Amino acid sequence: MRPLVRKSYRIAVVGATGAVGAELLAVLERRGFPVANLRLLASARSVGKKITFRGDDVRVEELRENSFGEMDIAFFSAGGDISRKFVPLARDAGAVVIDNSSVFRMDPEVPLVMPEINGADVADHRGIIANPNCTTAVTLMALYPLHLAFGVRRIFASSYQAVSGTGARAIAELKQQVAAAHLNSPAIAEVYPHPIAFNVLPQVDSFLPDGYTKEEMKMQHEGRRIMHLPGFLASVTCVRVPVYRAHSVAVSAEFARPVSVEEARDVLAKAPGLDLLDEPARNIYPMPLQAAGKDNCQVGRVRLDCAMQNGLAFWVSGDQLLKGAALNAVQIAELL
């Protein structure tokens, strides 16, 4: 690990005009991250746009191979193809890269980090640190404290994923389709293969030969790395829902040791970055509308799973643009 010891840092943001990029800048600002110099990078389409950061207008520049001279930290949120090509260039130019794509997450030389769980892994970096998949991140915020208490073996889960996870174009697509329905005009489906308004799509990401999607398998693959649990098993169905912001996940988890709801609630109430909202008699439980815009993820509906031994069922919601992307990335930078 190259030590990063400065009073303030030269920061590049790749994908600064995107859904995650905008959140990243807001999180840097809100958490008072010591930024000495900010370089905002996007495609040629965005050159000349101005984005306000701490009251100053910063011009967006075109991402180029030589964009990373004299940068300390480069955040990447512009998709896998851009990361594959430009992350190594940024690292070679001397920046530590925090990458939000899935390209490097399974690379054994690249730590995959959630600060609440395996923050110490940051010390092993060789210039690139990977940020986890958003659905995995939201789930692990609740699952990991339960694992520490009871020892998780496997989970069965279904996700309810917001369109902002797909990016700015998907947000616009849902808006268009909602408006079109009110006007009785046709819904235009370009980003997703089917209309997303008033619908749910049992497909997030592309299908693998075994019938799961890539997104679904990230829970097991990334969960193993982040929790340091090579035997962790996860059978997941990922579903896109017509929600603008915040993912939710219904989880049934099987543990090695006996569980109790009281103990589980106690553990979850004390977990960092997590709020327990679990008063079913008063209709209190996590929901995306209430999780949106919040740093903390929310967990509730905690109950004994009636179909397995040592099983707990729970429901977790979290702002995937924050904990699943921008917030986690900035927390990694803070660890650096």
Q: What amino acid positions are annotated as catalytic residues?
A: 134, 247
CB of 146 to ligand A2P, least distance (A): 32
Stretch that binds ligand A2P, among 15-23, 104-112, 145-153, 268-276 (CB under 6 A): 15-23
Among 11, 12, 19, 322, binds ligand A2P (CB under 6 A): 19
Site string for ligand A2P, 155-194 (x = CB under 6 A): ------------xxx-------------------------
SS3 234: strand
Shortest Cβ 46–ligand A2P spacing (Å):
3
Neighbour-count burial of 50, counting CB atoms closer than 10 A to its CB (0-12 exposed, 13-18 middle, 19+ buried): exposed
Secondary structure tally for the chain: helices H, strands E: 9, 13
Strand partners, 247: 318
Return the residues of window 54-83 that contact ligand A2P according to CB under 6 A. 63, 78-79, 82
Does 50 participate in binding ligand A2P (rule CB under 6 A)? no
Residue 233 as a binder of ligand A2P (CB under 6 A): the answer is no
**DSSP H stretches of helix in the chain:** 19-30, 80-92, 115-118, 134-150, 168-183, 214-227, 261-270, 288-291, 327-335
In the complex, which residue's CB is closest to ligand A2P? 18
Among 30, 45, 85, 270, binds ligand A2P (CB under 6 A): 45
Instruction: Answer yes or no: are the C-beta atoms of 130 and 112 closer than 8 Å.
Output: yes
281 exposed, middle or buried (CB, 10 Å; 0-12, 13-18, 19+)? exposed
Q: Which stretch binds ligand A2P (CB under 6 A): 18-26, 134-142, 209-217, 272-280?
A: 18-26
Residue type, 306: C
How many residues lie near ligand A2P (CB under 6 A)? 17
